[in-house]
Amino acid sequence: METNEVLDKLPRHLLNLIIDQPYSGYSAQDHAVWRYIMRQNVRYLPQVAHSSYLEGLKRTGISIDRIPHMYGMNRILSEIGWAAVAVDGFIPPAAFMEFQAYNVLVIAADIRPIDQVLYTPAPDIIHEAAGHAPIIADGQYSAYLREFGRVGTLAFSSAYDNKVYEAIRHLSILKADPYTPFEVIEHAEADLDRLSKLQENPSEMALLRNLHWWTVEYGLIGTVGNPKIYGAGLLSSIGESHNCLKPKVKKLPYSLEAQHFSFDITNQQPQLFVTPDFEHLNSVLDEYLATMAVSKGGMEGLNKALLSDGTSTVVYSSGLQVSGKLVKVQELNNHPVYLSFAGPAMLCFGNRQLGGHGITYHKDGFGSPVGTIKGIAGNIESMSEGELAANTIITGSEVSLEFSSGVQVKGILQKITTERGMILLFSFSDCTVSYQDTILFRPEWGIYDMALGSTIKSCFSGPADPDAFGLQYPAPVEKTHHLLHGEKTVRLHSLYNQVQAERTEGPDSAVLKEIWQIIKLDYPDEWLLPLEIAEDLIRRFGETGSAKEIIDYLESCAGKNDDMSTLISDGLSLIADQP
């Protein structure tokens, strides 16, 4: 991976998801698919897309004629403060969000097969590079993407979310492979459908993904009566970019209500949301952020952490951050009394590990009370050394504390840990901690580190200091299929290669006519290469007679189905529009 100042800031735990762009693996047909879609976009999208799209194409240096190389894109993207990396299809939503928070565009390296030119359910380089990249050149929209990524890294997922992600990834891999048997795809679709019907209470990440889908992927901007396209899924789908503006697709004003609209990646969307401007996107995101555990804390936030069944961070009112798997919250009158984390756990402040309080030291977990202490006015975490002494809390002495909840802590205070004027920890030796009739900590277990904080002010997903915690996103086990083409398809790709070589190295109309005869005899369903040949014959050689034969042939093929009719009709329009 060729690095730059943006990529240099990526945390280590994201690097496993990055792959080398398999540029030499793109066939000549792949480049022709890219060229066809990009030329259609440039011809059509100025009429219907947000004004920044075409300018963004120029600023991001995306080629029209050939699939862009990531290295070239990065050199230009760095000028607007972004970068791009190649990944293998869908990656975990939390990782996707974190890349976005670091101003890194995640680009699925594969390209859609020719039978999915109009629409593909799988992420591909057309969707990512031609859909996402141009629009991030807009400063307001770029800021929204970055903030959305930051919020996304804090959102709690669930075990159910992980199953859905795996099912979607599996289905998208199958659908992106033109050789996958139909019955295998049907089985995967049925599995995803069954799974989708099991959802009861969507997680923060599930709701946030809905907002992402209806803005970043499938968003419209302007008015309900006269919207423009800015979502990458629409910008990169020549089928849906036409259909989405038709009356049959309902247009709704974008608001926080969009979080409750789920989506189906395998079909075009029945409704879309229209934002008046990019600034409104941030307003709705702020509304959603206010509902999240990171903003609310308390029992609501702790319950989300428990349900996530993964690593989370709980923030005490002192600023102490405890990261680990929260496994139990004892409560009284809907207020937390005592928190228990399974190991490994880590203590942080300001998203940095406290010295000596990493996952090795807290390998067996961490537990601590929450709340105020009887007989002590005010919050103990903000007291001075003199105020502590006045309450008989002195280092080296035996200290006995009873919390308002009834939790009792008794031991010899060995150390007080502070940061920026706040007391974070009391560390005791020979300590006993009890609540009601339960012993929570015994003296023989060693040093007891007690968190200070009267309330839990925030909870969020993942560890506060990911690198110190050893967070890793392992590379997906199921890989995007490496297509093994048969002899006939390989020969077809070589014909594409010859036509492209004629375009750059020609001229020789006899070669193009010879290739056309081969296609007519051996590849009766082929439509894209005949279009390219007809265009070259007219533009380069003035061969209208030979080209007319091809065009007549294509027009006869257009009646096979609606998709074929659209593809050929749009392709012939490109030929008609050329000077």
* One pLDDT digit (tens) per residue for the chain, 579 residues: 667 789 999 999 999 999 999 999 999 999 999 999 999 988 888 889 998 887 887 787 788 899 988 888 888 888 889 999 999 999 999 999 999 999 999 998 899 889 888 877 778 898 888 888 888 888 999 999 999 999 999 999 998 998 989 998 999 899 888 899 999 999 999 998 898 888 778 999 999 999 999 999 999 999 999 999 999 989 888 888 888 999 999 999 999 999 999 887 767 789 999 999 999 999 999 999 999 999 999 999 999 999 998 999 999 999 999 999 999 999 999 999 999 999 899 999 999 999 999 999 999 999 999 999 999 988 899 999 999 999 999 999 999 999 999 999 999 999 999 999 999 999 999 999 999 989 999 999 999 999 999 999 999 999 999 999 999 888 888 999 888 899 999 999 999 999 998 877 766 788 999 999 999 999 998 999 999 999 988 887 777 788 899 999 999 888 778 888 989 999 998 888 766
Alpha-carbon distance of 155 to 149, in angstroms, equals 10
Among candidate residues 16, 1, 123, the one with its CA nearest the CA of residue 69: 1
**DSSP-derived secondary structure for 342-378:** EEEEEEEETTEEPTT-STTTTTT-EEEE-S-BTT--S
Who's near 27: CB < 8 A, 6+ residues apart? 493, 496
Residue 76, number of CB atoms within 10 A of its CB: 18
Residue 507: the pLDDT is 60
Residue 574: the pLDDT is 86
Residue with tokens 């009267």: 454
Q: Which helix (H) or strand (E) holds 406?
A: none
Q: Which helix (H) or strand (E) holds 487?
A: helix 487-505
Burial of 108 per CB tally in 10 Å (0-12, 13-18, 19+): buried
Among candidate residues 89, 86, 82, the one with its CA nearest the CA of residue 56: 82
Q: Which helix (H) or strand (E) holds 269?
A: none
Alpha-carbon distance of 508 to 63, in angstroms, equals 25
Residue type present at position 480: T
Question: Do the Cβ atoms of 249 and 270 come closer than 8 Å?
Answer: yes
Residue type present at position 255: S
Q: Is 193 left (phi over 0), alpha (psi -120 to 50) or beta?
A: alpha
Residue 1: the pLDDT is 62
For domain 7-210, the CATH class is: mainly alpha
Question: Do the Cβ atoms of 140 and 280 come closer than 8 Å?
Answer: no
Kindly give the pairing relationship between strand 456-461 and strand 311-316.
antiparallel
Spell out the domain ranges in the chain: 7-210, 311-469, 487-577
Beta strands in 248-358 (DSSP E): 250-253, 271-275, 311-316, 320-332, 335-349, 352-353
Residue with tokens 């990512």: 128
Who's near 89: CB < 8 A, 6+ residues apart? 108, 110, 122, 123, 169, 172, 173, 176, 476, 480
Q: Name the token pair of 170.
A: 């599996």
Among candidate residues 558, 484, 489, 573, the one with its CA nearest the CA of residue 527: 558
Residue 60: the pLDDT is 78
Which three-class secondary structure state does DSSP give residue 68?
coil
Among candidate residues 104, 105, 205, the one with its CA nearest the CA of residue 154: 205
* Chain centroid, CA 512 distance in Å: 44
Residue 579: the pLDDT is 61
CATH no. for 311-469: 2.30.30.100
Alpha-carbon distance of 227 to 507, in angstroms, equals 45
Among candidate residues 82, 104, 121, 91, the one with its CA nearest the CA of residue 11: 104
Instruction: Give the residues across from 403 on adjacent strands.
Output: 373
Residue 4: the pLDDT is 78
Residue 506: the pLDDT is 64
CA dihedral sign of residues 342, 347, 350, 356: negative
Q: Name the token pair of 119.
A: 């629409």
Alpha-carbon distance of 469 to 361, in angstroms, equals 12
Question: Do the Cβ atoms of 323 and 465 come closer than 8 Å?
Answer: yes
Question: Do the Cβ atoms of 315 and 347 come closer than 8 Å?
Answer: no
Kindly give the pairing relationship between strand 438-441 and strand 408-419.
unpaired
Cα 363 to Cα 308, 342, 343, 358, 411, distances in angstroms: 20, 8, 5, 8, 22
Question: Do the Cβ atoms of 232 and 123 come closer than 8 Å?
Answer: no
CA terminus-to-terminus distance, the chain: 40
Percent helix, strand and coil across the chain, each to the nearest 5: 50, 20, 30
Residue 70: the pLDDT is 85
Alpha-carbon distance of 364 to 368, in angstroms, equals 14
